[in-house]
Amino acid sequence: MRKPVMAGNWKMNKTRDEALQFIYAVSDKLPSLDKLDSIVCAPAIILRDLVKRQGDSLKIGAQNVHFAESGAYTGEISPVMLASTGVEYVIIGHSERRSYFAETDETVNLKAKAALDHGLKPIICCGETLEERENGSTNEVLKRQITKALDGLTSDDLKNVIIAYEPVWAIGTGKVASSEVADEACGYIRGLVQGIYSSRTASNLRILYGGSMSPKNVSELMAQPNIDGGLVGGASLNPESFLELCNKAVQD
Ligand code: 13P
């Protein structure tokens, strides 16, 4: 049995005060850790403040990491620095980073390895654009992204990896993938992992759906056999909505 995950990706939102208010509003109302991994991935500048106040049921993640331990990379944050804040997770290869900040399959792979080397658990994102879906290359894109992202990772590493399938056309658009389309893609990813590793590794891997997930559609999406949770942008910003997502994620 895979433990479900509900991860909020706040993107470039929330000041320190707003983030702390959120944490205080949700921390004693979340499902317990044995039922759900509830995560918020926050801007780096406030991670330490959140870690100090995360409580028993909330986990904290970052939204990006550099692959080098230190060096002349102005403005970047190394895995050593991130680990020192006490965060547990880090999103890697989000489509916004791929399209606005020149993230490639190669840097995604380097970052995933660097995160794991420093005890951070990567949430590796993949997903096709609208054009790629319409021209029938979704599986080809997912295969390339996943194969490259996982290159050199061992099956032991995979125990600490989460994959998020986020079709680019569904992100921030209000156009959620149907549960069948989302499940088919997540199932395809699971099959790829089975081919690279083993059926045991694949069946233990948690795969999330992301893209306009909300309290309205979370139950149907999570009822799908290959979807183990969500990576949620807009609907994770409001504490009531995040709580609703988390509570629905643990309902049968
Ligand atoms: P939305 O939930 O706002 O569509 O964003 C999804 C996302 O990009 C999460 O990483």
Length of the chain: 252
Kindly give the confidence (pLDDT) of every residue in the chain, 252 residues in length, as a single tens digit, with 9 standing for 90 and above: 899 999 999 999 999 999 999 999 999 999 999 999 999 999 999 999 999 999 999 999 999 999 999 999 999 999 999 999 999 999 999 999 999 999 999 999 999 999 999 999 999 999 999 999 999 999 999 999 999 999 999 999 999 999 999 999 999 999 989 999 999 999 999 999 999 999 999 999 999 999 999 999 999 999 999 999 999 999 999 999 999 999 999 986
Residues within a 6 A CB radius of ligand 1: 9, 94, 166, 171-172, 210-213, 231-235
- Structural domains for the chain: 5-249 (3.20.20.70)
- CA separation (Å) from 153 to 122, 136, 142, 149? 12, 29, 17, 9
Is residue 166 part of the annotated active site? The answer reads yes
Residue 220 designated active-site: no
- Residue 1: predicted pLDDT: 85
Nearest protein Cα to ligand 1, atom 7: 233
Distance from the alpha carbon of residue 245 to the mean position of ligand 1, in angstroms: 13
Structural contact between residues 44 and 62, judged by C-beta atoms closer than 8 angstroms: yes
- State the pLDDT at residue 212: 95
Among candidate residues 66, 69, 94, 134, the one labeled active-site is 94
Distance 219 CA to ligand 1 centre (A): 17
**Which residue's CA is the closest to the ligand 1 atom numbered 5?**
233
Question: From atom 2 of ligand 1, which residue's Cα is the shortest distance away?
Answer: 233
- State which ligand 1 atom lies nearest to the alpha carbon of 164: 10
CA distance 252 to 244: 14
Pocket test for ligand 1, best of 175, 212, 221 (most atoms within 8 A of CB): 212
Q: What is the DSSP string of 45-103?
A: GGHHHHHHT-TTTEEEEES---SSSSSS-TT---HHHHHHHT--EEEES-HHHHHHS--
Please tell me the distance between residue 166's alpha carbon and the centre of ligand 1 in angstroms.
8
* Closest residue by Cα to residue 177 from 218, 207, 135: 218
